[in-house]
Structures are given as C-alpha cells and as structure tokens.
A = this chain, B = another copy of it.
Amino acid sequence: MFTIADITLHSHLLMGTGKFASARQLTETVKASGTELVTLALKRLNLQQKNDDILAPLQQLGVRLLPNTSGAKTAAEAIFAAELAREALDTHWLKLEIHPDPRYLMPDPIETLTAATELVKRGFVVLPYCSADPVLCKRLEDVGCAAVMPLGAPIGSNQGLQTLAMLELIIEQANVPVIVDAGLGAPSHACQALEMGASAVLVNTAIASADDPVQMAQAFRLACQAGALARQHGLANKGGSEGSSAVASSPMTEFLEAL
C-alpha cells in the first residue's frame, strides 16, 4: 500500500499497455496483474474516436489511466502532449517521458525537469521517467512531482536492476514514492525492487512479450506482493559467510556420543 497524490494504491505493480497482440489480451492481462494504474501512450490512441480499441476496455476495467508523453523529445512537446491527454482522457495524472534519442529511449534530465516544473504549476500529478540519478530525483521531488520513476535498465532490455547502487541512494533520500521503471525482465527483478524499498515497479515488455501474458502478469503480481511483504516484515541482512559459524555448535558427533 502506498500513496500518490492522496490516492492510495494497493497494488505495487504498474503496467504498460504497449506491445499486446489484441485489446482483449490487454484487458485480460491487466485484470490478471491486479494493477490499479496503467500507462498508455497518447500517440497510440485515436482521440477523435470515442470507442478507441484500447481506451474503452481499460476504462471499463476501472483502472486509473496514466497517459505518458512517450515520443516527446523536448519539454515543449511533452507539455503540449500532456494538455492533450488531460483533455482527452479526463485525468490530470501524467507519466512524463522525454527521450530525444530514438534508439535507447533514454530520458533527458534537463527537459524532464523543465517540463515537470511547468506541469506541476499547471495542476498535473506528475510522475517523471528519469535516469537513476539521485540529485535529479531530488530535484524532481522538490519541484512537486508526485513520484519519481528512475530506470532499472534500458527500456525493453529485461536486464533487471542494473542501476542498483543508484536506486539505493534514491530510495534512501526520497520523500515521494520511487517507482522503478524500465528494464525489469522477470518477476524476481520486480520482487527485488520492492524488497529494497521501491514503492512500485512499472512493467510492460516482460509481460506483453511472454508466451502467455496473462499468466506472466499473475507472476509479476505475486512477485510484487512477495517483495512488499518481505520489505515490511524485516528481511535479514545479507551477511558474510561468517554468519553461519555458530550453526554447527552441536555437531552430530556430540549427538552420537549422547546416545
């Protein structure tokens, strides 16, 4: 359970909606995931048409929509897209995503902070996708972002928490939820992120590209529950191997002698 802008979320899994084979597969997967918050790319929607293939079923499911500005290369483009999304989707929640490079879709720290500052002023609940940069995350928090979404690894890479050392600092310093975004390729990665104190993870590729997305969504759901539980109830420290020294205090030989 965690809170973004006064909204309490019970699921620690956010889901992206790209790369699914059909609208039907998408909605069944969203249901199986237990997510309460799904991102969707504005550019993929047919805003003129009320019964958009993707949008309508998502709205029926009752999950909160988090439109993203994927494809924006500058703050200006992102702000423009954000206003469009607010009007079209009737939500002021926004995943801010600005990536100038077409190849790796890495976020631009400068444009992201500029856009975030403006969008907060305009009343948006801003969740920025950003590099795992502790100072940047702090500044995004300082300008009023409702959460930060540092990347775990390049989008679509399935490599897991490659930015672990930086995520640790970000989580330690944050006063808003930290949602690990991008690169999570397996339920164990999601579980690990929650164990270390992330409030949530965002997963898309690993679910949508699985042989069976519905089952994989269920797997991520369970893994997130596991990670959150473990965080809450006190994981033992990762110790040196010395931790085991005391275990053998009553060796079998003593036992055998005692018979």
**Which residues of A are at the interface with B, using a C-beta cutoff of 8 A?**
18, 42-44, 69-73, 77, 80-81, 84, 99-110, 113, 131-136, 138-139, 153-160, 162-166, 168-169, 173, 185-189, 191-192, 195, 205-206, 209-212, 215-216, 218-223, 225-227, 229-230, 232-241, 243-245, 247-248, 250-256, 259
Whether A206 contacts B236 in the complex (CB less than 8 A), given A102-B248, A113-B110, A165-B241, comes out as yes
State in angstroms the CA–CA spacing of A113 and B237 once bound together: 33
Q: Could you give 23 example pairs across A and B, Cβ below 8 Å?
A: A71-B251, A71-B252, A71-B253, A71-B255, A81-B256, A102-B248, A104-B245, A106-B135, A108-B136, A154-B169, A154-B244, A157-B240, A158-B238, A162-B163, A162-B165, A163-B163, A187-B230, A188-B188, A188-B192, A188-B223, A210-B236, A221-B226, A222-B226
A186 contacts across to B, CB distance below 8 A: 191-192, 195, 230, 235
Please determine whether A157 and B220 come into contact, CB atoms closer than 8 angstroms: no
The listed residue with most B CB atoms (<10 A of its CB), out of A43, A254, A259, is A43
Please determine whether A247 and B133 come into contact, CB atoms closer than 8 angstroms: no
- Tell me how far the C-beta of A162 lies from the nearest C-beta in chain B, rounded to whole angstroms: 4
Could you say which of B77, B109, B187, B251 contacts A133, with CB atoms under 8 Å apart?
Answer: B109
Please determine whether B241 and A154 come into contact, CB atoms closer than 8 angstroms: yes
A245 contacts across to B, CB distance below 8 A: 103-104
